[in-house]
Amino acid sequence: MGGRSNAAKKALEFVKSGMVVGLGTGRTSEIFIKLLAKKKLRIICVPTSKRSERVARRAGLVVKELNEVKRVDVAVDGADQVDKGLNLIKGYGGALFREKIVDYAAKRFVVIVDESKLRDELEGWVPLEVSSFAVEQVRRELGWLGADSRLRMKGKKRFITDNRNVIVDAYFERINGPEKLHETLKDIPGVIETGIFAGGVWKVIIGSEKGVRLLS
């Protein structure tokens, strides 16, 4: 069993019957969703993307929207990068806005990753969900911050999020202060949400071929 599978399997320990469970987006999250379905628990699931919703429904899980539940007991989601302070970069799959809403609504936010996602410091591409109306202005402001940027494409067309927005990826060689950078980026008119998750994580489960270890 690989690192992703080991991390996903460990996360099952934090889900009990009667819970409302936030379901993340991405390959590791999809492994978790399929394993969760096999447990046959009495739970309600709140997906963070249309893709995760499809996977959950096909697996036989009960799915509701966030507005239809009174709480989220635990959210289990992957990440593209995790630093020592449990800060994250998410959104390489394009679901960062809904992920942040559901993950931060949960009483407990559990992150499942393999060892390749660990960093001493966050770095590189930061996804931003952006209004299509403001793409070029956002990119100009990113340039004034010293960041290269690119509009994410799917083939020859713009990548469109579940919320009908676009993704602009901004490059930062090093991110010394994730929370401050998030606030700076979020203040740019047209930026709806950033892929920087600064704080709010309860546990990170790191999977490897040999097993798992937990950060909290």
Cβ proximity of 200 and 215 under 8 Å = no
> What's the domain range around 150?
122-195
As a whole-number percent, the residues of the chain with pLDDT over 90 amount to 98
Same domain, 99 and 165: no
Per the annotation, the verdict on 13 as an active-site residue is no
Same domain, 16 and 110: yes
The catalytically annotated residue of 99, 129, 141, 193 is 99
Bridge partners for 109 per DSSP: 75
Q: Can you say which residues are annotated as belonging to the binding site for substrate?
A: 25-28, 77-80, 90-93, 117
Q: What is the pLDDT of residues 88-110, one digit of tens each?
A: 999 999 999 999 999 999 999 99
Q: Is 82 part of a structural domain of the chain?
A: yes
Mean pLDDT (whole number) for 153-160: 97
Same domain, 184 and 203: no
What does the DSSP 8-state code read for residue 19? Answer: -
**Which is nearest to 117 in space by CA: 148, 152, 150, 90?**
90
Q: What is the pLDDT of residues 45-65, one digit of tens each?
A: 999 999 999 999 999 999 999
Q: Can you say which residues are annotated as belonging to the binding site?
A: 25-28, 77-80, 90-93, 117
pLDDT at 1 over 90: no
Same domain, 31 and 105: yes
CATH of the domain at 31: 3.40.50.1360
Mean pLDDT (whole number) for 3-21: 98
The reported pTM is 0.95
Query: Following DSSP, what letter does each residue of 122-183 receive, concatenated?
Result: EEEEEEEEE-GGGHHHHHHHHHHTT-EEEE-EETTEE-B-TTS-EEEEEEEEEES-HHHHHH
Mean pLDDT (whole number) for 77-92: 97
Q: Is 215 part of a structural domain of the chain?
A: no
pLDDT at 199 over 70: yes
